[in-house]
A and B are shown apart, each in its own frame.
Chain A
Amino acid sequence: MPDNNNIKVFAEKLNLYYGHTQALKDINICIKEKEITALIGPSGCGKSTFLRTLNRMNDLIPFVTTAGTLLIDNQDINKPDVDVVALRKKVGMVFQSPNPFPMSIFENVAYGPKIHGIKDKDELSYLVLKSLKEAALWDEVKDQLNKSALSLSGGQQQRLCIARVLAVEPEILLMDEPTSALDPISTLRIEELLQELKKQFTIVIVTHNMQQAARVSHVTGFFLTGELLEYDLTENIFTKPQHKKTEDYITGRFG
């Protein structure tokens, strides 16, 4: 058992099956509070799958079974009596492609607080403002909060989705290739944003972009065919990887 109390996520021998096909094999991982962890690896190696175990989004897929230990704040989140709704409130998720709801910008951000029971207008407005500021979107949208979220650009939409997550005041942020659908400038803005956010949140980000992983993260995990092959400080992974395969992958010789 981890005794260090700034450990946020702890997995030991975590296995996951889609029906009979194994997607995660004996994953051991230990993610510290208020750090950015990058997950890299070739397509289909299980990065998204791992990420989705952390907020139990895999529950939505039929015939998924998991085995092993997965603790968040020292609580086993796979226990049957776990309140999934509360878990997902604590563990926010930003998806690969921006998926704003077809409603106004304000309503998008206010959605989370509202479903968690906040009715007070002022409280909602405050949360919306705070979250949009945190997501570095406020200046661009402050005059058009009632406009449809679908009218924003892709990069703005993604920051809106981040704001939407921040509004429920999570502790962990899961990001599955959050910039893969964006242009370089929007990507840069989100990377800057990450540096701000890590002061408050524990962030796990999946990325296919090696520079991005190197730029933003403290720790990097390299996944290969369902295994966490190498897991170390980002510095180490990118300068002196232990495995030949890691080296091949990060230098682009993989294949």
Chain B
Amino acid sequence: MLNKKKLNKRLVLPKAAEAIIRPILFTSALTAVFVIVLIAFFIFQKGWPVISSYGLWNMLSGTVWQPTKEIYGILPMLTGTFYITLIALLIGIPFGLATAIYLSEIAPPRTAGIIRPAIELLAAIPSVIYGLFGIVVINTFMRYLQRGLLSGILPPDYQLGYSVLSGGIVLAIMILPTIINIAEDSLKAVPRAYKEAALALGSTHIQTIFRVLIPAAKSGIVSAIVLAMGRSIGETMALIMVIGNVTALPQHGLLSVFAPSSSLTATIALEMGYAGPQHQAALFAVGIVLFCIIALLNSFVIAFTRRGGQQQL
């Protein structure tokens, strides 16, 4: 049927393909690592001169950001990012965890089958949509609150609607999917036996959830929170649209949640559009700070979940 010579000729091609395909695939696989290195390289290359001449500490602790006058204090943005993230986490964590518990422990399958896709959609909605909703709904509501109930105690420039609190609320919604998905996965990964043992000892379902399941799923829940933190520190567009982008340090204690604010991300995105070379370099320096924070958080999560995963097995 088949003569041997013919066959050998035909086999040459697949063999040549085998030989070149491996390096091609290997290069593809390395691309991600390559990109990370390039990102770090370019951000540092452009931003480092500013940090080294201005001084890292001067920059981190400086309260005035006037890049046109070569004053590069980023404390206002740092605090902005910090407060907004804090609020987002304070709201997002309880609701996110509660939803995760509801989905994995309480919800009947059909209800869960409606809520889970909703969460996927929530994760898929573009930031700018959240931003739009934020300006039009949350900021309007905030303005009513600031100019009505709270008008007596708030300074006039805290009555604009644009505020740390709006940013926090918008971000709280945006990080819900991250928290819910990861927390639910780790709750589900808890061996059934734990739960059955607890129930068999006569604990109620709620006791079992809080005393057995949550402690057992701890590592997953922690990574959920840290990832959510990373996501809110890194969010740009939704914040630009709702926080007002004022680079001033909040002055009024707790009332500062009603102050308009800026964030590391928003400042970069807004000012890159018109910045001159020196100003651009300063924005890259802000980028360095942001990059380092995120890289640290994410490395922590990656290392932590690996170890956590092994413990659970």
Instruction: Check if A117 sits within 8 Å of B10, measured CB to CB.
Output: yes
B7 in contact (CB, < 8 A):
yes
A169 in contact (CB, < 8 A): yes
A contact residues around B11 at 8 Å (CB) = 85-86, 116-117
A169/B1 in contact, CB under 8 A: yes
**A115 lies within 8 A of chain B by Cβ:** yes
B201 interface residue per 8 A CB criterion? no
Within 8 Å CB of A118, what residues of B?
A: 2, 10
Q: Is B14 an interface residue (CB 8 A)?
A: yes
Q: A7 to nearest B CB, angstroms? A: 22
| Interface hits, A102-128 → B, CB 8 Å | 115-118, 123, 127
B1 touches A115 (CB 8 A): no
B-facing mask of A214-233, CB < 8 A → 1, else 0? 00000000000000000000
Contact B7 A116 (CB under 8 A): yes
Nearest-CB residue, chain B, relative to A85? B11
Instruction: For residue A199, give the distance in angstroms from its CB to the closest CB of chain B.
Output: 17
Q: Does the CB pair B14–A115 fall under 8 Å?
A: yes
Which chain A residues in 164-202 approach chain B with CB under 8 Å? 169
The number of chain A residues touching the other chain, given as a range, is under 10
Q: Give residues of chain B (3-17) contacting chain A, Cβ–Cβ below 8 Å.
A: 6-7, 9-11, 14
Q: How many residues of chain B have a CB within 8 Å of chain A? A: 8
> A145 vs B253: C-alpha distance in the bound complex, in angstroms?
78
A54, B229: Cα distance in complex, Å: 55
Which residues from B are CB-within-8-Å of A117? 6-7, 9-11
A123 CB to closest chain B CB (Å) equals 8
Q: How far is the CA of A123 from the CA of B10 in the complex (A)?
A: 15
**B-side contacts of A127, CB under 8 Å:** 1
**Which residues of chain A are within 8 angstroms of B10 by Cβ–Cβ distance?**
116-118
A123 to B2, CA, bound (A): 10
A169 CA to B7 CA in the complex, in Å? 13
Taken residue by residue from 12 to 39, chain B's Cβ proximity to chain A (1 for < 8 Å, 0 otherwise) reads as 0010000000000000000000000000
B225 shortest CB reach to chain A, Å: 37
Q: Which of A116, A123, A127, A169 has the most CB of B within 10 A?
A: A116
Return B15 CB to nearest CB of chain A, in Å.
Answer: 8
> Hey, which chain A residues are within 8 Å of B6, CB to CB?
117
Residues of A within 8 A of B1 (CB): 123, 127, 169
Chain A residues 50 to 87 lying within 8 A of chain B, measured CB to CB, are: 85-86
Question: Which residues in B have their C-beta under 8 angstroms from that of A123?
Answer: 1
Given contacts A116-B7, A117-B7, contact A169 B2 (CB under 8 A): yes
Jot down 9 A-B pairs with beta carbons below 8 A, ordered by A. A86-B11, A115-B14, A116-B7, A116-B10, A117-B6, A117-B7, A117-B10, A118-B2, A118-B10
The 8 closest A-B pairs by CB, nearest first: A117-B10, A117-B7, A116-B7, A169-B1, A117-B11, A116-B10, A169-B2, A85-B11
Binding site for B on A (CB under 8 A): 85-86, 115-118, 123, 127, 169
14 additional A-B pairs beyond A85-B14, A117-B7, A169-B2, beta carbons within 8 Å, are: A85-B11, A86-B11, A115-B14, A116-B2, A116-B7, A116-B10, A116-B11, A117-B6, A117-B10, A117-B11, A118-B2, A118-B10, A123-B1, A127-B1
